[in-house]
Amino acid sequence: MKRLITLVGVSLIPLPGLTKSKKVWLLKFGIRGFQYYEGPNLIEKMQAGDRLELRREAENPFDKRAIAIYYQNQKIGFVPREKNEVLSRLMDSGSIKLVAEVLQLRDDVSWNEVYAGIYPEIEKKLFA
């Protein structure tokens, strides 16, 4: 009887509860150009852990590998040019989904600076 109750109990656990997501940081960086976009207007709303949206800007006249960063559908800056080559290729290939989030907010510089991180969205199944 105990075995039957255990089996029924396990079958009632929702499938999302059987997966575990692990963040493997590909890059951590200060958002470039933050002070020139909507960042200063949104900084008071931001918190560590907030999700950011990455959008490729292949037609950007200054950087063909540009990756813009958005918070609440408003541009707040870019992934630094010197660090975007591999990430832009991954995004262009469509083979992996990249996720970004706010890591830290700093106000000890001349303007508020936001540090962010990017990781691949991967689900690790606990049971196969």
pLDDT at 16: 52
pTM equals 0.77
pLDDT digits (tens, 9 = 90+) for 35-68: 999 999 999 999 999 999 999 999 999 999 999 9
Give the domain ranges of the chain: 19-125
Question: Is 19-125 a CATH 3.40.50.1370 domain?
Answer: no
Spatial CA neighbour of 38 closest among 73, 69, 75: 75
More confident position, 59 or 95: 59
**Given a cut of 70, is residue 27 above it in pLDDT?**
yes
As beta bridge partners, residue 102 has 116
